[in-house]
């Protein structure tokens, strides 16, 4: 397996984890404090998976929508931070372009 495929698999798993945790955190803030943590996790996993939340769960569609929005916000934040870190790593590894050291087409022999 190539390094790209491994990196992709790791990032997909990490983004799924961040989505569920973001939804769980938002639901925890929106729901009463006495909710069971296992039930909250199950509800967050169902919402993140796109499963319809039954009305008897006591959670409104607006709360679920806001929780999903917050979860995707976590994913976007992760993506933005990852891009900046990769750009910084690229800059540190490859440095600035050294145009003064690179050969120029104009310095070669003139063609007749």
pLDDT in tens, 26-51: 999 998 888 889 989 999 999 999 88
Q: What angle do CA 93, 99, 105 make, to 5 degrees?
A: 130
**Neighbouring C-beta atoms of residue 4, cutoff 10 Å:** 8
pTM comes to 0.76
- Long-range contact pairs involving 37-44 (C-beta distance under 8 Å, separation at least 24): 44/20
Comparing C-alpha atoms, which of 48, 50, 39 is closest to residue 67? 48
The average pLDDT across 57-72 equals 91
């Amino acid at each position: 397996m190539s390094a790209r495929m491994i990196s992709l698999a790791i990032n997909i798993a990490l983004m799924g984890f961040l989505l569920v945790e973001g939804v769980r955190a938002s639901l925890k803030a929106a729901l009463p404090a006495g909710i069971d943590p296992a039930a909250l996790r199950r509800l967050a996993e169902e919402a993140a998976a796109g499963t319809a939340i039954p009305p008897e769960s006591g959670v409104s569609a607006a709360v679920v929508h806001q929780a999903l929005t917050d979860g995707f916000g976590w994913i976007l934040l992760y993506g933005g931070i990852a891009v900046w870190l990769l750009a910084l790593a690229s800059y540190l590894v490859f440095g600035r372009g050294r145009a003064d050291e690179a050969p120029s087409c104009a310095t070669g022999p003139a063609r007749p």
